[in-house]
């Protein structure tokens, strides 16, 4: 196959960027040119992995250097008190403000993205983001959408509304949540849709903030956890079982944790959720009362989190090389950690904070693949009992290990690379 140029435009967060890195790594190994357009705080992170890197500001640049994705870390730190609200109240205090920040970033970056695409001249563009960037749809290259969020983002009338965390088996609260979403988001959507059209892109689907590709849409969720739909998805929609990068550093369990009583537990609230130091410290303190051993992804405020005996942690850990070695995972329910835990066949305890984390937590709980807890209201014994339950549940652990082997055998990053290249080839023949 003639070498092609693929541009990835991921959201400025670890999950979407890492998903794109996994796919981009496969494409680069096959001899294709892989270019990342990334928010400026990621400077140097993609070139270090062998990719071309073009930087994009989503707002007025800060005066000094910042960590990758720092804007969202700061935003989450400031917004964290709102995470204690029910999801229907978060629509106004958390969800809508996040949409607005994303929309502002799309507006600010329009000119820069247009110039990058003109310079690079890609054969295909892959976006892993939840808002539209008109520049991606007004070039000659085909646009591929990658959805690394819970599949409820893809609407179905007989499934719970996205961001609600409501069960699939009880629809009593669905209408009220949808009505509140309409109330809190309609005006913002109308303004954004008008701007998108002014830039020359197609209109957005009603009350949705991103386009569906006419060429290819890949959503990241293994079949074992996916939803039964009342309306089949169009052929342009295809499921990815996983998208796990092979670029993480090797990891060896520290000697002091390699042996001992209890399970080996991995605690991660993601690059954003771990900024809630009060919650992180409470989890660490409760875990210290058990016989279990713990690996902690401490996050950006790592120096504020005090670990105890039988614990090891770092600001950033190579998650995809840690997960195969642990017994279970305590997570915020971010799509990246959820799907990677399923990829490696690990049961989960889920403590959702915002966005689709509630949907992932509810889905894993109702399928019996883990336990959802009240993130701020759980009693200490609920957490310790859940760990003991999952660690001792041998049949569940065996079933999930088997599911994990099946997921890994499908090689999701290779599937994604194949399908993206098919779009590029079809475009080249026109």
Q: Which domains does the chain have, with CATH numbers?
A: 5-241+411-428 (3.40.50.2000), 255-409 (3.40.50.2000)
For residue 145, the model assigns a pLDDT of 97
- Give the span between the Cα atoms of 188 and 203, in whole angstroms: 14
Strand partners, 240: 220
For residue 332, the model assigns a pLDDT of 95
- Give the span between the Cα atoms of 294 and 266, in whole angstroms: 6
User: ∠ CA 46-47-50 to the nearest 5 degrees?
Assistant: 100
Identify which of 132, 126, 112 has the alpha carbon closest to the alpha carbon of residue 197: 132
For residue 247, the model assigns a pLDDT of 80
Residues shown for the chain: 430
Helix (H, G, I), strand (E, B) or coil at 216: strand
- Give the span between the Cα atoms of 232 and 86, in whole angstroms: 31
For residue 274, the model assigns a pLDDT of 81
Q: What is the pLDDT along the chain (430 residues), one digit of tens a residue?
A: 799 999 999 998 888 898 999 999 999 999 999 999 999 988 999 999 999 999 999 988 876 666 655 665 677 677 778 889 999 999 999 999 999 999 999 999 999 999 999 999 999 999 999 999 999 999 999 999 999 999 999 999 999 999 999 999 999 999 999 999 999 999 999 999 999 999 999 999 999 999 999 999 999 999 999 999 999 999 999 999 998 888 888 999 999 898 888 999 999 998 778 888 889 999 999 999 999 999 999 888 788 899 999 999 998 899 999 999 999 999 999 999 999 999 999 999 999 999 999 999 999 999 999 999 999 999 999 999 999 999 999 999 999 999 999 999 999 999 999 999 999 999 888 7
Q: Give just the sign of the alpha carbon dihedral 191, 173, 377, 316.
A: negative
User: ∠ CA 394-360-387 to the nearest 5 degrees?
Assistant: 35
For residue 275, the model assigns a pLDDT of 80
Whether 367 and 272 have beta carbons less than 8 Å apart is answered as: no
For residue 71, the model assigns a pLDDT of 63
Identify which of 55, 185, 201 has the alpha carbon closest to the alpha carbon of residue 134: 201
In which order are the strands placed within the sheet that holds 328-331?
Answer: 311-314, 293-297, 264-268, 328-331, 348-350, 370-372
- Give the span between the Cα atoms of 134 and 210, in whole angstroms: 10
How far from each other are the two terminal CA atoms of the chain, in whole angstroms?
Answer: 16
Whether 420 and 126 have beta carbons less than 8 Å apart is answered as: yes
Identify which of 252, 264, 267, 269 has the alpha carbon closest to the alpha carbon of residue 291: 264
In which order are the strands placed within the sheet that holds 52-56?
Answer: 52-56, 33-39, 5-10, 124-128, 143-147, 216-220, 237-240
Burial of 262 (0-12, 13-18, 19+ CB in 10 A): middle
Burial of 44 (0-12, 13-18, 19+ CB in 10 A): exposed
For residue 427, the model assigns a pLDDT of 87
Identify which of 34, 414, 13 has the alpha carbon closest to the alpha carbon of residue 240: 414
For residue 70, the model assigns a pLDDT of 63
Distance of CA 159 to the CA centre of its chain: 20
For residue 12, the model assigns a pLDDT of 85
Contacts of 339 by beta carbon, 8 Å cutoff, 6+ apart: 148, 220, 221, 222, 242, 243
């Amino acid at each position: 196959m003639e070498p092609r140029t693929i541009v990835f435009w991921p959201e400025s967060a670890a999950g979407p960027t890492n998903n794109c890195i996994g796919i981009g790594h496969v494409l680069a190994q096959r001899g294709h040119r892989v270019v990342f357009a990334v928010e400026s705080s990621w400077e140097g992170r993609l070139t270090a992995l062998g990719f071309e890197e073009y930087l994009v500001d989503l707002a007025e640049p800060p005066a000094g250097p910042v960590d990758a994705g720092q804007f969202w870390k700061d935003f989450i730190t400031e917004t964290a008190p709102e995470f204690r609200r029910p999801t229907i109240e978060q629509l106004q205090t958390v969800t809508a403000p996040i949409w607005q920040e994303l929309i502002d970033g799309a507006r600010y970056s329009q000119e820069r993205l247009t110039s990058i695409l003109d310079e690079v001249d890609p054969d295909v563009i892959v976006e892993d983001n939840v808002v539209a960037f008109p520049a991606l749809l007004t070039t000659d290259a085909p646009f591929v959408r990658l959805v690394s969020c819970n599949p409820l983002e893809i609407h179905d009338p007989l499934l719970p509304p996205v961001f609600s965390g409501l069960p699939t088996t009880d629809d009593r609260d669905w209408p009220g949540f949808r009505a509140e979403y309409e109330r809190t988001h309609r005006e913002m959507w109308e303004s954004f849709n008008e701007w998108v059209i002014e830039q020359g892109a197609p209109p957005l689907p009603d009350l949705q903030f991103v386009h569906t590709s006419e060429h290819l849409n890949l959503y990241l969720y293994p079949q074992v956890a996916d939803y039964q739909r009342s309306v089949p998805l169009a052929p342009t929609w295809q499921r990815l079982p996983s998208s796990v990068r092979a670029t993480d550093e090797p990891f060896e369990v520290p000697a002091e944790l390699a042996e001992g009583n209890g399970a080996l537990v991995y605690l991660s609230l993601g690059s954003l959720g771990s900024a809630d130091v009060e919650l992180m410290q409470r989890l660490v303190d409760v875990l210290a009362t058990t016989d279990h051993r713990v690996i902690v992804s401490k996050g950006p405020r790592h120096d504020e989190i005090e670990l105890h005996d039988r614990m090891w942690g770092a600001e950033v850990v190579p998650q995809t090389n840690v997960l195969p070695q642990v017994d279970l995972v305590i997570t915020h329910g971010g799509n990246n950690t959820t799907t990677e835990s399923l990829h490696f066949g690990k049961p989960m305890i889920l403590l959702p904070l915002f966005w689709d984390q509630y949907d992932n937590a509810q889905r894993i709980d109702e399928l019996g693949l883990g336990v959802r807890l009240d993130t701020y209201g759980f009693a200490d014994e609920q957490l310790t009992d859940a760990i003991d339950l999952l660690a001792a549940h041998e049949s569940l652990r065996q079933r999930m290990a088997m599911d994990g082997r099946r997921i890994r055998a499908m090689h999701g990053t290779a599937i994604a690379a194949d399908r993206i290249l098919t779009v590029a080839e079809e475009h080249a023949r026109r």
